[in-house]
Each structure stands twice: as structure tokens, then as C-alpha cells.
Structure 1
């Protein structure tokens, strides 16, 4: 796909080419990610001001923005140096004052000549019983009244850029918009009654009322759909590229899986069996697998992944399982070792801690094919880590890795199948946005024997009571996690640090039964603390959120989360999922500091009332918005300028099926609509898609 189409050049030129935008203002605009005319087109007004002309300010609820024609009366200069300059005016029914501070009298006499009529528009409010308009937004001669919009759009601003400058720049950018061929499916456009692209832009930037600013207005909805469509085309292109990418056929008779099933102390759930079946079938096809395995806390994803890894091994190849942290990698290793032994496969681990001769031995064994399955952290990405015949890469907790790393791992072998796992239930809309290039398997059942977790809210005022309960539980042989939000005390933030809490609990509960884990400890100490807790040597583990994901100690039945109101919902759900993993009843105590904000109270109440991760995730999304729920930009969730993932997920789903259909009918985008879609990809700066088409 050759370079950017010429028709788009005016939208990608310097922003200084626009009216009223000099180098200084251009610099200020970069603060809100505006670097070219195209960016201004997608900066939507978030509100508007009614500037329709009225006869009088009389009997209007004040304060209010009003536009009236006035007769100009006396000017009164300030009596004191920093006082106000006042101009008396009369509309058809009432007298009021125009008020100016730091004003130049000669200038005001020129724009407001006594005895003449002017149109003034601005906020009118009472001061000492007299209506006043302080610094009118507009003062116009009657002949120029047409310059004033009846409804004025209000834009997000940044330091050094006023509404006037912004409006002028946007109007100037609109004059550069070319006429482009339609990329939306005609039937879809008609069904939704959407305007053409240019008309949609013009309507959005010249709204007639607040209804036109609404995200569901036809113009705004069409522009949102354009963003979704470009994004979903990119994912669909990546998906078809992977589908076309030659995979390695990994076929297995199921012999190794049968050995593991016999050794299991429980029967896998129907959801687990379904997922294993689908994945095994995927791996037996000549196309590369690119699948997301989504399951709530404790749904048994690790077993499904291991069964998939066995397919790779039985077919004569190797598998790798990547975890985001050392703790999690070692945990996977410990959990999978007995299963690997029952199947007779060679399992090993590689993390950043492997150095020197030990590391070299592992790497050599891997390259010779002597290790069947490797468990590891980021260390697996290093260039000298080579496999003899890598067939399957399993990535755990995908949101901790960027999309780029997912592809990197796939490059470690020829046509490697990729299985991504996440225990963070993702609302459907986000799954579409982030994983639209993948096929999805859901684990929506909990393994049998899992006990429900009783969740209670306790205020910090009852801390000593909680500690006494804990002392009792520990004396009965129970184990507990105690999670704190910060690692060290900070003067500015009133949160108990993990170090302080550890000392306090040790003083109450005694030496030797407490462990401590946080992100700033050396890895060896962290591991020792985890091992002591897993073996039951320590009874209480005081920790930060490093234990959020995947830590599995079946005997731990109590989870205390201190200052729970400072955590996100998904994170609280993950933390709570560390207990309730054995056959005993479990408890989660959410300790909060009163008074709770409305949002804080809602979060904690939702958690107390539900254990359904998907329901919790939907609530989290509604409360916090997409960017926060997933975290960083690197996570792969796109930043849309107009579209809103939360409220427009139905639109996103339409864009996904439309993008897939378009590429199915026209894989190289060479039809009339296909060519228009290419222009859309350039317009929306979907560089990855453009590269995929160019090489495709």
C-alpha cells in the first residue's frame, strides 16, 4: 500500500497553517495531543452555550448566559485604582450594567459609544440587587449580529488556548476536509440514518442544541463508528494474516492427556473439557491458532493450558508458558510438576534469576529438545533462548504484557500457536476492542468443591477487633493474607505501609508466624516468604498486591484487605480469589476508612454482593472507564477520540462483524469500498493495518 493518499495531505500538514495558530499556540495544543489539522477535527465539543437573542434580561432566572440588544448609556470609571469600570445599558425592558476590570477607558468608549445600539452576549448575574454582565463574551454592531452562532460549541482547552482561538482553528481545519468515498456499508449507513463523513464533521462542530452534542446523535455516532471500524479492520487484518500464516499441524491421539486425567484428584468441568477440545482441534489445523482463554478466578485455566501443551509435546514439539512475575512462574511450575510427572514429560523453568552455568545448561537442553515444556517470565524473550521445535506459546495474564510481546513470543518458532490466558474477566466491549483479532474460549464454571467466600465491610475503627479475630483463627491453625496498599509510609498519604503493619501484627501475634512479601524485596527473600507460607510454616502473610494474581495456597481461608476503598474493583476481586481455593469456608474482610465516597461505597458493596467476575467487571467498566480498567496504553486498548467503548459496545460489535465481512469478501481491499476503507485506515493512523496490507 503506497504512501498516504494525496487527498489527505491538507489534514496532515502543520497545525500552524490554520487561521490564528502561530508557533506558540501550536506548542500549547500539543498538550492535548493536537499536532495537525486532522486532530482538531476529532476534538468534539463537550457542551454548548445558547446564544439566541432575547428581548430582555428581565424575569430570567439568573445567573444565565444571555444575548440582548442594548442602548449604551453612561460610562463610569473606577474610583479606586483596582476598581471596576461600569457601563450602564438598557434593553427593551430593563437596565443593567456591563462591568470590566483592568479596562482601558479609551478602548471601551470606542467599542461602546454612548447613545448607540450594540448586541452584547455573556453571563448575567445579580450583584447588590443589580443585574451585571462582567466582561461580555461578545460586543457586536447590529450589522455584525450574524457572526454570533445561535448555539456555540464549547471545546476542551489547554493553557494559552481560548475558546475563540480553538473555534477559529477548528473552523479553519474544516475548510481543508476533502470529499472522500464512503467506507461504511451502504445498508448499515441507511439503517442507522447516518450522514456522509464531511456532513457528520460539520454537524458535530456546528451543533444547534445540546442534543447534537450527545454521543448518540447521528453525526457523532457515525464518527464513532468510523473509529471503531478502522480499529476493527486493523484487528481483522492481523487476524486474517495469522489465519493465513502457516501454522504447524500438531496432532495428538490424546494419550498424554488421558494419563493426566487419570492422575487428577478431581473431574474437570464441562467448560474445561469444551475448551480443551476446541484448542486441540485448533492445533491440528494448518492455520496458526490465536486464542484467548478467559476465566474467572479459580476457573481452572492452568489445567486447560497444560492439556494444550501436551498436544504440542505429543506431536513431537515443545511448549512454553509465560507468566508476568517470578512468583507466578514458580507457582505454575509447582502446580504443573505432578501433572508433568504423571504424563512423563520434561518440565523446566527459566526466569531472570537463572544466571551463569546453570542457565547455559538449560538453554542448551532447550535447543536440543530435551525440555518438553518451559515455564518462564520475560526471560524467555531473550535472543539466546532458542527452542528445538516450539509449537505452542501460552501467555498468562495477557494484560501485563503488551500486544507486541505476544507477537515476539510467536517468533520463537515456525508457525507457533498462541494461547493467551487472563483471569481478569473482561467485559465484552473491552474484549472486542482489545482482543478482536483472537478467537475466545470462556471458562464460566467453577471446579466442584469450591466454597463461597463470605465478604464483609469493616471500618478502620474496628481494626483491633479484626486483629483479635485473626489471633483466634491463627490459633485454630488457619492461614491468612493481609494486604496493604503502600510499601513504605509516606507523609502525604494516610495509608498504613506493609512494613508498619507487619511490625504491629508481629507484636500482637508473636514471632515466627508472620511472613512479609512486597515488590521491593530481593527475589530470594520473596520466594522464601512465599515458600514458608505455602508449607504452613508461617500463618499470616502480610503483602502488597504482588499476590494479586495466581498465588494458590488452598489452606489460606482469610483475606484482609486494608484501605480497600483505594483499590479498583477488578483488583479487589482478584485478591479475594486468593482464598476459597480449598474445601474450607473462607472470609474476605474489606477494611475501609470512613467516610466512604459514593464511588468507594458502590465498589465495596458490589464486591460484597457478588462473586461473579464478569458482573463485577461490567460494573467496574461503567464506573471507571476503559482506560483505567485495563491500565496502560501499552496494554493494547485503543484510545478513541470520539467513540466511547463503555456506552457504545453494540456499535463496536457491529464494526467487528462488518470489518470481518469486508475482509472476507475483499481480502486485499481492492474493491471500491475496499479502497475507501484504505483511506479510512490512513485517516485514523492505523499504521499497523497499513503495514499488514502493504506486506500482504
Structure 2
């Protein structure tokens, strides 16, 4: 009986094998397995006789094991497995396996096998280091052995990511069995699209990606399957965007003589052109009868908070409430203080002598004292607090709003799907939603991950901001380190303040740095006393990290903001939103342990006042290493969008797309947000045209089914609720 894409693997492969694929790789159906593509292809070339091997070539040899010996390494712990093999003419070759003693169980003297790897030379003799191999005794017949030889020595051999007790050989065999049983699958991509883009049919593409006859054959299969991934995603996002535009909401048009106009009149500075332009976009969205779904991205210090506050005031002027969800208590408390300072008298709603249009700004965090929390929650419920700032504590039952009109999510990538959705559910009608990020998002990521949102971008810095100078400091050179701390003292002597950032808090389990020869990452708990008793002695030095109580964190941050602390030694708890204009210098220790975007976010904490900012990236990475090149790139530019592209180059697609598209059953496997920008753009245009002509996909039932499958997958909820 032929198998379909929905056939359970147990019906094709048997219960034991299917259970292993399900347990270790989350593969349960024929479709799951056939969309588990090889992650690379080994190019073997023809089988070679041992005398003809050339140094540097990738070769596959058919040889018999002559001897197997195990010996300890000389200079470090571990073992070396030496295997001598020979061909039919008696020519010999050495195989070397490092720290793989278990291989000796298969490599028995007298057995024939296929061995593939790169030919190297050691002490004048050719050898293969840790080659891939299969012993021909694995074949159950002479015909199967011949097939195995032919398969292993072919031009393109698919290699699958193994897991647990499912090695790549087993996956390849399962795929072969499944393809032999597969009925020709129906193709969800419209025929017109396949013809215009010269795309393979689905069945042919699946066979070609697992059994490519040539590199051209493989390229055609990958093109087809990439198009499928891009088109399914874009169709889903275009549908959602259209549905959101048709969802009824509550218009929040504001008024001419209200809180917002009073606030604007009192501003001591002029908004940037970008802030004015984006503000007009938000104002129009809020006044519409459908909920706003907008992404506001802007580089560090571009003034997103000011833009969001003005939108919140418009909603308050319309009789509604606005809430800002922040990822940390430190940031929530700072937003609360900042907005009260910016609003001044306009934040004294309900107090004697307050202006007519004043409102209240409430703070809700998990660590609020009981009495303060009760008062804050009461102001939310009765509507007297027009603006609410909070953390995850806002999401719990018992937190109710009188009329929630706008949800602003700060650094939205810090929140999960359920958390964002729980806050929106507290409104009687779908509220307007603004998600903000200071992490610059490359165009293709915005088009794919945030494709159902309208996008606004702030690109210019507000007046008065100064450029940040960044230098890489060699951590292994004591002279450079001494100069860095001397430079910190100079900043403090000039009346400024300094951040010192460490990768970890200290005393964590397993903080061994990963490799045996690499020291543990520097920690706040160790660096703080080291500086206090060493190069920064006499200065006021304080630690700040996530393990401190909320009260202690708030007190520490307040003291630093007030200038009572000279140097703040912190983890990445200060990465987002912390605003102390008098802080002019940052020293990031073990900077190579941070990502590109994270480094850019961190250094954005300095240079926020009138004095120039300085950031020192301290690293022991060797010259020319990938880490050193990454740090040099960060030091070379303050263009966050350029750095975002660099970051994208260095990260796996699953990391970029988030948990929604990670895991074995991901719908995005081949598509590269960096390399396939043009393809994604074309797929977006095609999806838009298709949905415009057939909104419900009534004329494309197979595509509708494929998109519905994507939507029903719990991972795809990320796309809907981001």
C-alpha cells in the first residue's frame, strides 16, 4: 500500500524505529520525515586505491582492517585509536580516531568497510583523521553490500543531523524506505506560480533533496522547497494582516485640548522629524476603527519611549487606559520615574490643584508592598490611572482595567506568546498594540517574523546626543587593562560615571566556560571587590544583578542615577532602557561572550547626555579569530542596522525566528533570512496578490490546507501573537 504525507511512520517503518524517530527527532508522519532534510552533503568522488590518494582530497576507500591499537595522548588526557587498513593489493593507510575508543567494537581485524574523509599527512605518511565509515557486514546480502558501496561512494551523500539513538545512517535508510513507498503527493503551490518560477513539483523536490543526482538537481530541489517555506509563511502573515484590518476595535482619536496637547506645549525640546512622522502614523492608527498592530523599531537612544508616551496620552484623552509592559523591574521602575518626570503636573491626576486633564501613572510589579499593590490595582480598576507601567505582574488574575485601549510592549522579544496574549485579553474589545524594540531588525526578519505588523522605524538620534567611541582592549595585556581602569578614574574625576559589565553574577553551577582550557567568565561577585580593593579603590563601586531583591535593585539604580555611585558593576540587567545621562563610559569584560546586538544594546547606555560616550570591549580572543573580528565590527560602527545584518550572518535561522520555528518540526528549514531576501520579497508579493484575489483561499484548497496546518501547529502561534 502506498504511503501519503499523513501516513504514520509506524505503518511504514515499524513500531520500534518509528518510536525512536518520534522520541528523539519529533518525527511522526511520512511528511515529518521527508521534510527532515539533510543538513549537508558529503562529496565523495570515486573510490580510490590507496596508492593514488593525494593530500588534501576527500576520498572514499574500500579497505580491510588489518590492526587496531589504542594509546594515550602525550600532552593531554584522552586516547587515540590507530587503525591500519589495506586494499586488495596490500597497500596500507592509517586511520586515526581521537577520543573515540568505542569505535574499536566495529573496527575488527579482517572486516571490510567503506571509509570516507580528508587525506592528511603525518610524519610523512598519509592518513584519514576520524573518517566516517560503515562496515560492509552491516549489509545483509551481497546485493545490499553493492548498493551500500555505490551509495557511499556517490557524488553527493546526504548527511542528517543525528540525535540520541538515531544515527544519520538510520535516518537515511528510513528515508529510502519511505520514498519507495510514497504515493505522488498533491502539490499545494499553485500551478501558475510553479510555472512562472520554474519550480519542481513537490514529489520530485522531496526525492531530489534526499537523493540528488547532481549539484544542479539538488539546487533545483532546494529552490522549490525554499519557495514553499517562504510562500506558506507569507500567505499566513498576509491573511492575518488582512483579518486584523477587518477586526472591529475602539477608535481612540484623542482631542485637541487634552492631555497630549498640554504635554506637547510644555516640552523643553523639539521632536525629531522621525518622532513627529512616526507619531502621526500612530495617531492615525489609534483613530481608526480597527486595532493598531504596529512594530516600532529604532536604534539605541532614538526616542521610542517619547513616541510611545505621546500615543498613550492620546488614548487617555479618548477616555481609555494605556499600559506599558517592561521586561524587568529595573526598567519598569525607570519608565515609571521617567514618565512622571516628563509629565510633571500632568501626572498628578486626582490630587488637589492638579491640572484639569491630569492623569495618574501607576506602577505594578511583583515586589510591590501589599498596600501599594492594592492601591495601584484599585486605580487600574476604577480608571483613575490612565497610564500603567508594569512587569509580568500585570498578567495575573486580579489585575483588571476599566477600559484598556492600548498595549505597549517594550523589548517585545523578552516576552512569550502567552504573556503578550494574556495582557491583550484584559480588554473588552481588542486593544491597539504597539511593540517596540531597540534591537535593529534586518528587513527580511521584519518581513518574515513581523510580517503581519505595520512597521515604523526611527533612524535619527534626538538633539544633544553625542557619538559613542568604541575600542577593543586586549584582555591579556596588563598594560592595556591598567590604562582602561585609569581611564575610568579620569571619567569619574571629570564628574561622570562608569558602567562595568560582566557575563555572569557569580557562584553559578556549571559556570566553567565550556572548554577545558578556557577560564570561567568574569562575574559581578568577583569583579566588584576586585575593583574596590584594586584599581578603583577610593571610588564608590556598587553591584547590580538579577539575583538581588527588587528593593535592592531599585535602590542601587536610584543611587547611580542620582550620582551617589561612581561605578556600577552589572550584568546585562542594564542592557535595555536604563537611562543615566551622566554615565559616559562602559567597560564590557569578556566582551566576546556577548552577541553583536547585545553589545550594541549595552553600549547604548552611555553617551545619553551632552558628554561623549566611550565603550571598551575587553577580550582575550586571539587576533584573527571569529570573536575578535566580531568585536572589531562592533567597534567600527554605531549603525545598529548594519550590525543587525552582521548578527544575522552569525546566527542560525532558528535563533532568529525564535522558538516558534525551532525544533525538528520547524516549517522553516532551508530558507535563509540573509541569503534569500529577494526570494522572500517575491513570495510576499505573490502571497499578497493571491490573497487579494482569493482571501479565503477557496480556489486553492490544497494551499489552504497547508496554511491551516502551519497555523494549527502550536509553534506557529508565535507568528499570530507577536
* Shorter-chain TM band: 0.7 to 0.9
Deviation at 1:542, TM superposition (A): 1.1
Within the candidate set 584, 588, 592, 2:619 is matched to 592
Deviation at 1:441, TM superposition (A): 0.5
- The CA distance in 2 between the partners of 1:303 and 1:653, in whole Å, is 32
Deviation at 1:13, TM superposition (A): 4.2
**Equivalent in the alignment of 1:195:** 200
Deviation at 1:243, TM superposition (A): 1.9
**Equivalent in the alignment of 1:35:** 28
Deviation at 1:277, TM superposition (A): 0.5
**Equivalent in the alignment of 1:458:** 473
- The CA distance in 1 between the partners of 2:584 and 2:643, in whole Å, is 22
- Deviation sequence 1:520-553 (CA, Å, 0-9, x none): 0111111111000101111111111100000001
**Equivalent in the alignment of 1:467:** 485
Q: Give the 5 Å matches for 1:179-578.
A: 179-213=184-218, 217-255=219-257, 256-341=259-344, 343=346, 344-413=358-427, 414-460=429-475, 461=478, 462-489=480-507, 492-493=512-513, 494-508=520-534, 509-510=536-537, 513-578=540-605
- Deviation sequence 1:272-321 (CA, Å, 0-9, x none): 11111011111111111100000000000011101111111111111111
**Equivalent in the alignment of 1:617:** 644
Structure 1 gap segments, 5+ residues each: 1-6, 113-119
Q: Report the structure number with the largest CA radius of gyration.
A: 1
Cα 1:177–1:245 change in 2 (3 A) is farther
Cα 1:202–1:472 change in 2 (3 A) is same
Cα 1:265–1:185 change in 2 (3 A) is farther
Deviation at 1:251, TM superposition (A): 1.3
Q: Bigger CA drift: 141-150 or 411-420? A: 141-150
TM-score, with length taken from structure 2: 0.82
Equivalent residues of 2:410, 2:436 under 8 A apart: yes
Cα 1:341–1:178 change in 2 (3 A) is farther
Q: Report SS of the residue matched to 2:296.
A: strand
Q: Give the 5 Å matches for 1:37-52.
A: 37-49=30-42
Equivalent residues of 1:48, 1:154 under 8 A apart: yes
Equivalent residues of 2:9, 2:18 under 8 A apart: no
- The CA distance in 2 between the partners of 1:143 and 1:252, in whole Å, is 77
TM-score, with length taken from structure 1: 0.85
Equivalent residues of 2:497, 2:582 under 8 A apart: yes
Cα 1:179–1:287 change in 2 (3 A) is farther
Equivalent residues of 2:4, 2:185 under 8 A apart: no
**Equivalent in the alignment of 1:17:** 11
Q: Bigger CA drift: 248-257 or 546-555? A: 248-257
Equivalent residues of 2:295, 2:456 under 8 A apart: yes
Cα 1:191–1:470 change in 2 (3 A) is same
Q: Bigger CA drift: 158-167 or 345-354? A: 158-167
Deviation at 1:227, TM superposition (A): 2.0
Cα 1:642–1:77 change in 2 (3 A) is closer
Equivalent residues of 2:449, 2:657 under 8 A apart: no
Q: Report SS of the residue matched to 1:335.
A: helix
- Deviation sequence 1:431-471 (CA, Å, 0-9, x none): 22221111100111111221111111112223222222222
- The CA distance in 2 between the partners of 1:254 and 1:650, in whole Å, is 44
**Equivalent in the alignment of 1:115:** none
Q: Report SS of the residue matched to 1:387.
A: coil
- The CA distance in 2 between the partners of 1:449 and 1:691, in whole Å, is 42
Aligned length: 662
- The CA distance in 2 between the partners of 1:492 and 1:545, in whole Å, is 19
Cα 1:47–1:561 change in 2 (3 A) is closer
- The CA distance in 2 between the partners of 1:403 and 1:183, in whole Å, is 29
Structure 2 gap segments, 5+ residues each: 71-80, 96-102, 347-357, 514-519
- Deviation sequence 1:229-277 (CA, Å, 0-9, x none): 2223333333333222211011123433332222222111111111110
**Equivalent in the alignment of 1:174:** 179
Equivalent residues of 1:234, 1:686 under 8 A apart: no
- The CA distance in 2 between the partners of 1:586 and 1:630, in whole Å, is 33
Deviation at 1:575, TM superposition (A): 0.7
Deviation at 1:592, TM superposition (A): 1.2
